[in-house]
C-alpha cells in the first residue's frame, strides 16, 4: 500500500506588528477505512495551545491564538500516512432506480447541504449544458464521470486568473482556473443534475510526475452514488480518486474546508506563502522547508462534539438571526 510523508508549510508575514491573532486550521488528515495516519505533528510559532474539535461535517479543526505582538507566523504540519485501495462502484442497478433513489435524498437532513443549488448569473447556461449531457438512461455513476470530463475538457488549468473570492459566474465565463475552480464547477453541475456533491480539500500524492495540483493543497469533489456512498472525482486530472489522494476536510464549499484562516489586530497588509512537499515511500527525512524561524510543538487538547447537537445548535442560531 502506498505511503507518503507530507509537509505543509504556511507562513504569514505582516508589514508591522500585529496582536490578538486568532486562527483556525484544518490540517489534520482524515483517517478512515481508506487512510491510515501513522503520525501527525503540528508546529506553530510562539507555542500556542491548540484546541481540536470535530465539526458538523466530521472534520478535525484546530483553533489557537497568538496574543503578543509579532510580525511573522509559521504553521508547519507534518504527516505520515498510508493510503489503501479504493473499490469502484459495481453500478449494476438499473439507471432509473438509481435516479429515483437520489430524488428521495432531497428529504434527508444529511443531504440538504449537498443538494443545495447555487444561484448565479450563468446558472441557466450551466443547466442547459447539463441537460445536453445528462441522460437518465445512464446511471449517476456514468453521468458523474461525463460531467467531470466536461470540466476537464472545456476549462483551462491556468494559475493566477482566479482567487478564492472569484465568483462562480466569472469562473464559468473564463473557462479557466485552478483545482479549486474545477472542483467548484463540478460540484455546481452535479447538484443541478440531482446528484449530492461535496467539496474536498487535501493533497494529491503522485507516484509519477505530471499530475496537476502538486506543491500545494489540492481540491476535488465527492459525489454520492446509490449502493456505494461517496465517490471521489478529480476534474483537474479527470480521474476517479484512488490511493493517491489524501483528504483534509469535506464540506459544502471551499469556505468549509479552508486549510488555514484567521483574524488579527494591526495593519491590513500581510503576505501569505504556502508550500507542500510530498515524498513517496518511507524516506528517512522530509526535505527541510525554506523558512527557518524557531518552532515549538504546541500543546493540543481535544474536545468531543456531537454532530446532531451541532446541527440543532446551528438551526437555532439561524432562527435567532
Q: Please report, for the chain, the start and end positions of each structural domain, with discontinuous segments joined by +.
A: 3-83+259-320, 99-241
Report the length, in residues, of the chain.
321
CATH C-level class of 3-83+259-320: mainly beta
pLDDT exceeds 70 at position 302? no
**pLDDT tens per residue, range 71-124:** 999 999 999 999 998 888 899 999 999 999 999 999 899 999 999 999 999 999
pTM: 0.85
Position 318 scores a pLDDT of 45
pLDDT tens, residue by residue, 10-35 = 999 999 999 999 999 999 999 999 99
Q: Helices in 76-225 by DSSP H: which ranges?
A: 95-104, 112-115, 123-133, 140-154, 168-174, 179-192
- Residue 145 confidence (pLDDT) above 70: yes
Question: How confident is the model at residue 291, as a pLDDT?
Answer: 33
Position 214 confidence tier, pLDDT thresholds 50, 70, 90? low
Does 271 or 209 have the greater pLDDT score? 271
Model confidence over 149-193: pLDDT tens digits?
999 999 999 999 998 889 999 999 999 999 999 999 999 999 999
Query: Which pLDDT belongs to residue 282?
Result: 56
| DSSP 8-state class, residue 198 | E
195 neighbors 143 (Cβ within 8 angstroms): yes
Q: Whole-angstrom Cα distance, residue 295 to residue 277?
A: 18
> For residue 209, what pLDDT band results from cuts at 50, 70 and 90?
low
pLDDT at res. 147: 97
Confidence tier at 207 by pLDDT (50, 70, 90) = low
In whole angstroms, give the CA distance from residue 215 to residue 188. Answer: 26
Same CATH fold, 99-241 and 3-83+259-320?
no
Among 38-47, 198-207, 310-319, name the one with the lowest average pLDDT: 310-319
Residue with cell 443545495: 116
Return the closest-CA partner of residue 217 out of 266, 164, 171: 164
Write out pLDDT tens, residues 254-266. 999 999 999 999 9
Is the Cβ–Cβ distance between 160 and 187 less than 8 Å?
Answer: no
Sign, CA torsion 218/243/149/124: negative
**Which runs of E-coded beta strand occur in the chain?**
3-25, 35-44, 50-54, 60-66, 70-83, 156-157, 176-177, 197-204, 218-225, 229-234, 239-240, 245-251, 260-265, 270-280, 300-302
What pLDDT, on a 0 to 100 scale, did the predictor assign at position 278?
92
pLDDT at 304 (0 to 100): 41
99-241 carries CATH number 3.10.620.30: yes
Residue-wise pLDDT for 273-301, tens only, equals 999 999 986 543 444 333 333 333 344 44
Q: Do 27 and 274 contact (CB within 8 A), yes or no?
A: no
What is the pLDDT at residue 300?
44
Cβ-based neighbours of 114, under 8 Å, separated by 6 or more: 191, 196, 197, 198, 224, 252
8 A C-beta contact, residue 1 and residue 218: no
Residue 177, phi-psi category: left (phi > 0), alpha (psi -120 to 50), beta (remainder): left
Cα 269 to Cα 254: distance, rounded to the nearest angstrom: 23
Phi, psi at 214, each rounded to 5°: -70, 155
Amino acid at each position: 500500500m502506498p505511503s507518503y510523508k507530507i509537509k505543509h508549510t504556511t507562513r504569514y508575514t505582516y508589514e508591522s506588528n500585529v496582536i490578538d491573532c486568532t486562527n483556525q486550521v484544518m490540517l489534520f488528515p482524515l483517517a478512515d477505512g481508506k487512510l491510515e495516519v501513522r503520525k501527525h505533528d503540528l508546529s506553530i510559532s510562539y507555542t500556542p495551545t491548540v484546541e481540536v474539535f470535530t465539526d458538523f461535517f466530521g472534520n478535525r479543526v484546530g483553533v489557537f491564538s497568538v496574543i503578543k505582538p509579532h510580525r511573522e507566523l509559521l504553521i508547519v504540519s507534518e504527516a505520515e500516512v498510508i493510503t489503501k485501495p479504493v473499490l469502484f462502484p459495481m453500478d449494476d442497478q438499473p439507471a432509473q432506480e438509481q435516479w429515483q433513489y437520489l430524488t428521495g435524498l432531497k428529504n434527508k437532513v444529511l443531504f440538504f447541504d449537498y443538494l443545495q443549488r447555487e444561484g448565479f448569473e450563468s446558472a441557466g447556461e450551466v443547466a442547459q449544458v447539463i441537460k445536453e449531457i445528462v441522460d437518465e438512461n445512464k446511471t449517476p455513476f456514468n453521468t458523474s464521470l461525463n460531467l467531470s470530463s466536461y470540466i476537464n475538457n472545456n476549462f483551462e488549468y491556468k494559475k493566477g486568473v482566479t482567487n478564492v473570492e472569484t465568483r462562480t459566474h466569472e469562473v464559468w465565463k473564463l473557462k479557466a482556473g485552478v483545482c479549486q475552480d474545477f472542483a467548484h464547477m463540478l460540484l455546481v453541475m452535479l447538484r443541478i443534475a440531482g446528484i449530492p456533491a461535496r467539496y474536498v480539500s487535501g493533497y494529491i500524492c503522485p507516484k509519477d510526475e505530471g499530475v496537476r495540483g502538486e506543491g500545494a493543497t489540492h481540491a476535488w469533489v465527492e459525489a454520492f452514488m446509490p449502493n456505494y456512498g461517496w465517490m471521489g472525482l478529480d476534474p483537474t486530472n479527470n480521474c476517479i480518486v484512488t490511493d493517491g489522494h489524501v483528504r483534509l476536510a469535506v464540506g459544502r464549499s471551499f469556505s468549509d474546508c479552508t486549510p488555514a484562516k484567521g483574524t488579527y489586530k494591526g495593519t491590513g497588509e500581510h503576505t501569505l506563502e504556502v508550500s507542500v512537499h510530498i515524498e513517496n515511500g518511507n524516506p528517512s527525512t522530509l526535505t527541510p522547508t525554506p523558512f527557518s524561524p524557531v518552532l515549538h510543538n504546541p500543546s493540543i487538547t481535544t474536545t468531543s462534539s456531537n454532530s446532531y447537537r451541532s446541527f440543532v445548535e446551528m438551526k437555532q442560531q439561524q432562527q435567532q438571526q
